[in-house]
A and B are shown apart, each in its own frame.
Chain A
Amino acid sequence: MTVAEAKAQATKPVVEAKNLGLTFRTNDGPVQALTDVNLTIDKGEFVSFIGPSGCGKTTFLRVIADLEKPTEGMIAVNGMTSEQARESRAYGYVFQAAALFPWRTIASNVALPLEIMGIASAEQKTRIARVMELVNLTGFENKYPWQLSGGMQQRASIARALAFDADLLLMDEPFGALDEIVRDHLNKQLLELWARTNKTICFVTHSIPEAVYLSTRIVVMSPRPGRVTDVIESTLPRERPLDIRESAEFIAIAHRVREGLHAGHSYED
């Protein structure tokens, strides 16, 4: 790779969607899950996708991850097709549930992607130790998933997504099933982790405070058909203590998100 190419690589957007559309064929006829999505996500951004259920936010994440194929438009991840990106293990994906394998200990669950990618076992050990520390699970390596609380399980699944050091982290409502207190705690930890690792994070949520607290950019989506209605740049500083959520600036952004959700919503008609 020449210097110029390396530079081009560095400035290339991590995710680029152009006129992206996806129509599911169902027995009740076609369903437009996504239509005309245009979005560019740069390196180091924390982008939240928010909207009511059925707005296609999860579907969009799955398109980035090559778990769904778009029917229209174009998607590029790290300048490659989404399939190439998946095959080069460009991203870590955190699902709504922890999806840990019950027959593996926490450490060997975290080791799963490393085993599949054929990483040497000595290297595996140092990486597991590092990510376990990153998510504050040191000391629980030899526990089985069912012996841990829901919050700890979800942290383990984040550690698993971090273990192979992809620069892009895709998170699909990872804290949706957890209670408010645990969720606050994990949000804070996630921000710290993002600051330390400088990863690009795409985060699907249906909680306005969560989206505003975490993101540098908030993508507001609306259903029928799933589309982007507003993209809000956050003016909050990168350093965010939990009580920033009571500041006027935070409330203003949250208000704008709510407006956006409301405008895109069509319960009335």
Chain B
Amino acid sequence: MRWFAPSWQALLAVVLCIGAGLLGVMSLPEATALAQPAASIAYPWAASKSLIFDAILISAAFSMMRVPPAVAALALFAGAHLAAWLLLSGIAGFEGTALAPFYLLMAAAWLLAWRCVTILSGLKPTHRLAKTLVGLLIPVIFGAWLLIIWEGVVRGAGIPFILLPPPSAIGARIATSVPILAADVRQTIFKAVIAGYAIGCGAGFLTAILADRVSFLRRGLLPIGNMVSALPIIGVAPIMVMWFGFDWQSKAAVVSIMTFFPMLVNTVTGLAESGHMERDLMRTYASSYWQTLFKLRLPAAAPFIFNALKINATLALIGAIVAEFFGTPVVGMGFRISTEVGRMNIDMVWAEIAVAALIGSVFYGIIALIERVVTFWHPSLR
């Protein structure tokens, strides 16, 4: 059997396909139409049913032949996504009527995508561009299937919009409310988060150096810092609103407080990180405190400082959004989430969550990128 290279995903996909074929009827309207052949009743997948089966079966079979892995991956990619697209576009308008074969076919298509990602992960491209492309494609396919399954289950089972809107509805909502989302991002991210993050991280860093220099601060402040960094500081948000008013300043204050202590604690730990031998070395050069700080201790502390910056990137976003729940002008991501929930516009809530997730990832990614450049020498990166 030199031409046959079986994989369990593809085999299982074929089995699921056969199961779906044996069960036959894919939706309630189809059952009605079969029961009343005279009446002309519209039902999902009236025209595309065989194409879905073909896409899955052919690409599954093709992927198990002895073909180059890239070709097999391409076939699987095409088959899985064609089937998924047909399944999802077919159910539109017939939400909640899907029967077991629909889910079996979804699962089969998903298995093919799984097989596709498995093959791609095993590829060892020599070309740099191809390597980056494959590296990107794998998480993209993975993420896309999370959305496809979400969409399929929500539409197939007819889950109420209030509980969980399908991703397509969220996407449509994002597309139609770009100005509102942009205004919210401007208010929450570009004002509250950036300002609060800069102030909190900067103050934490400077306090750490001060505590390093002044021993009573180190002995007095640090135990408290460790304790406070474990507290749910978000609770001070209403107080900050009373102190600094409804606008972004109070949110920036919450973010500052939230990011201050992780930065303080991490920087102090990092400053203690340089070895005795290295410090003795600086002493033999009669190096001043500041020379030792800038040439030895801060570079050695950089991995810890970046850790704090990354933790704080997430904390800042949470802090700013949640703080807006407690009072804000009529703009801002947290304000939008809390009001749109009240108005049952759940898709808008999800749209804000999606935007926040995107911005959070970009924020984190930028810091991680800078970290790679600055601490290239650290054993975990080199």
Which A residues form the contact surface with B (CB < 8 A)? 65-67, 86-89, 91-93, 95-97, 99, 101-103, 112-113, 115-117, 144, 146, 164
Contact = CB atoms under 8 A, between A and B. Distances in A.
Given A95-B281, A103-B299, A116 B287 contact: yes
Given A87-B286, A144-B377, A112 B295 contact: yes
A93 B280 CA distance: 9
Interface string B18-36: 0000000000000000000
B78 to A, nearest CB: 45
Given A67-B283, A87-B286, 18 more contacts: A67-B280, A86-B284, A89-B285, A95-B280, A95-B281, A96-B277, A99-B275, A99-B277, A101-B295, A102-B378, A103-B375, A103-B377, A112-B295, A113-B285, A115-B295, A117-B285, A144-B377, A144-B382
Interface residues on B, range: 20 to 34
A146 B277 contact: no
B377 A86 contact: no
B291 interface: yes
A66 B285 CA distance: 11
A216 to B, nearest CB: 24
B273 to A, nearest CB: 12
Contact of B284 (A91, A115, A146): A91
Give the 3 A-B residue pairs with the shortest CB-CB distance, closest first: A102-B377, A103-B377, A93-B284
Contacts, number: 54
Nearest to B375: A103
Contacts of A115: 295
A88 B284 CA distance: 10
B278 interface: yes
B53 to A, nearest CB: 57
Given A67-B280, A95-B280, A101 B299 contact: yes
B377 to A, nearest CB: 4
Contacts of A164: 285
A99 B285 contact: no
A65 B286 contact: no
A103 B280 CA distance: 18
Interface in B291-311: 291, 295-296, 299, 302
Interface centre among A67, A91, A146 (most CB of B within 10 A): A67
Contacts of B286: 86-89, 116
Interface centre among A65, A87, A93, A97 (most CB of B within 10 A): A93
A2 to B, nearest CB: 28
A116 B295 contact: yes
Contacts of B284: 65, 67, 86, 91-93
Given A112-B295, A116-B291, A146-B382, A101 B278 contact: yes
24 contacts: A66-B283, A67-B280, A67-B284, A86-B284, A88-B286, A89-B285, A89-B286, A93-B284, A95-B281, A96-B277, A99-B277, A101-B295, A101-B299, A102-B377, A103-B299, A103-B375, A112-B295, A113-B285, A115-B295, A116-B287, A116-B291, A144-B377, A144-B382, A146-B379
